[in-house]
């Protein structure tokens, strides 16, 4: 078990952004039939999603969330010495989108910019990485950004996941403050990497055929589409994830009762209920956002936080247990004390970086 600890790092602000492109589940009835849509909604609890506009990228959504954070929190950008971006939908193959966002957000040259290519576990990994880098630096602030546009990687005729993936961005400001210790467990199982995979487009197989083929689950896909082995992933989420959360209880001397809220990756509602049962937590402690936003990958934890707390309980400090899990396979558990007055409402954006599409050398 990989156990990590940071000290004296706190959350100073959380913002999230979704594309201004609301898509109700009923939108898919003409494509898949009403019966298929009804079965999907009943099985997952997802009633709607927000999908990126054609010109929007993960970088755009993360940037919009960050600009909202700077509007809400009085922090000088020059004091941010660490920026970690989590995404599996980068704007370019090269360079790192983290460096592009440094420029767009006008962060200082002294800011170390790092990109983490993880999916649904990415918030926990990013939170630990940014906190550790900040703790071991002379900087006062770190910025954790997350952006994802998984909807652009799904075969539109794949009824198993076309209605599932929502796109979003998040920005979390970390600050050196106090003396609290944060414990994090990070785990991965690359032996099961084929459980969620998009085979084409990387350097292993850059330009394969776009020919459709029938997969074992009865859906037609190309090698450029995300494939998920639903049975294997479900087994992972209701076994490995609860076991690790219980190991976290033991490592920290806590139980579910010690936390005001438990923020789980929003995969589907049935999985949330199964995990809750196994970690001995009531559903009252587990806020749900997937019904309106779908599965937003690594953003789902901060998105659920921003959805649940700004208006319902402003101005109090909560203790949150957080667990993300998914593609890799990769998963993690952490916790934090969060001042809900520093958690802000979700915004909608249609912004995109027009300058980001260019011909090299044509400046």
Whether residue 257 has pLDDT greater than 80: yes
Contact 356, 57 (CB under 8 A): yes
CATH of 186-342, one of 1.10.10.10, 3.40.50.920, 3.40.50.620, 3.40.47.10: 3.40.47.10
Mean pLDDT of 172-189: 96
**pLDDT band for position 358 (50/70/90)?**
confident
Rounded percentage of the chain residues whose pLDDT exceeds 70: 98
Please list the residues that pair with 269 across neighbouring strands.
none
In the predicted model, is pLDDT for residue 296 greater than 80?
yes
Q: What pLDDT does residue 294 have?
A: 98
**Residue-range domain boundaries for the chain:** 2-181, 186-342
What distance in Å separates the CA atoms of residue 121 and residue 123, rounded to the nearest whole number? 6
Task: Tell me, yes or no, if the two domains 2-181 and 186-342 fold the same way.
Answer: yes
Rounded-to-10 torsion of CA 55, 58, 64, 69: 180
CA distance 149 to 305: 20
Other CB atoms within a 10 A radius of the CB of residue 172 amount to 29
> What integer pLDDT is reported at residue 276 of this predicted model?
97
Q: The whole model's pTM is what?
A: 0.96
Strands (DSSP E) along 65-219, which ranges?
80-86, 112-116, 141-148, 168-188, 196-197, 213-214
pLDDT, greater one: 359 or 51: 51
What pLDDT does residue 315 have?
A: 74
* Per-residue model confidence as pLDDT tens digits over 298-326: 999 999 999 999 755 567 899 999 999 99
- pLDDT given for residue 245 in this prediction: 98
Q: Tell me which residue of 305, 334, 19, 12 sits closest to 165, measured CA to CA.
A: 19
pLDDT at 214: 83
Q: What digits encode the pLDDT tens for the residues 265-290? A: 999 999 999 999 999 999 999 999 99
Nearest-Å Rg of the Cα atoms of the chain is 20
Q: What is the CATH number of domain 2-181?
A: 3.40.47.10
């Amino acid at each position: 078990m990989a156990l990590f600890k940071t000290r004296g790092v706190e959350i100073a602000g959380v913002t999230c952004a979704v594309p201004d492109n609301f898509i109700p589940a009923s939108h898919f009835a003409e494509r898949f039939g009403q019966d298929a849509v009804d079965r999907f909604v009943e099985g997952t609890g997802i009633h709607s999603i927000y999908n990126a506009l054609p010109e929007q990228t993960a970088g755009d959504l993360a940037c919009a969330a960050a600009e909202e954070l700077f509007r809400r929190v009085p922090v000088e950008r020059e004091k941010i010495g660490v920026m970690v971006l989590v995404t599996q939908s980068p704007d370019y193959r090269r360079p790192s989108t983290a460096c592009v966002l440094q420029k767009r957000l006008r962060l200082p040259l002294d800011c170390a910019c790092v990109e983490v290519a993880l999916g649904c576990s990415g918030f926990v990994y990013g939170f630990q990485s940014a906190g550790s880098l900040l703790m071991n630096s002379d900087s006062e602030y770190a910025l954790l950004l997350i952006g994802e546009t998984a909807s652009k990687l799904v075969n539109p005729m794949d009824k198993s996941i076309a209605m599932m993936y929502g796109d979003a961005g998040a920005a979390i400001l970390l600050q050196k403050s106090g003396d609290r210790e944060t414990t994090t467990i990070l785990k991965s199982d690359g032996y099961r990497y084929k459980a969620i995979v998009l085979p084409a487009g990387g350097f292993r197989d850059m330009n394969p055929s776009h020919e459709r083929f029938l997969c074992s689950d009865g859906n037609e896909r190309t090698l450029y589409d995300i494939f998920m082995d639903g049975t294997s992933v479900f087994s992972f989420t209701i076994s490995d994830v609860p076991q690790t959360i219980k190991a976290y209880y033991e490592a920290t001397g806590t139980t579910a009762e010690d936390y005001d809220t438990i923020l789980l990756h929003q995969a589907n509602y049935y999985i949330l209920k199964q995990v809750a049962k196994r970690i001995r937590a009531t559903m009252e402690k587990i806020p749900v956002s997937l019904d309106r936003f779908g599965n937003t990958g690594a953003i789902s934890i901060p998105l659920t936080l921003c959805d649940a707390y700004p208006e319902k309980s402003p101005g109090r400090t909560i203790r949150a247990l957080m667990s993300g899990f998914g593609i890799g396979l990769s998963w993690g558990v952490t916790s934090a004390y969060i001042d809900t007055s520093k958690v802000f409402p979700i915004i909608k954006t249609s912004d995109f970086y027009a300058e980001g599409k260019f011909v090299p050398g044509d400046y």
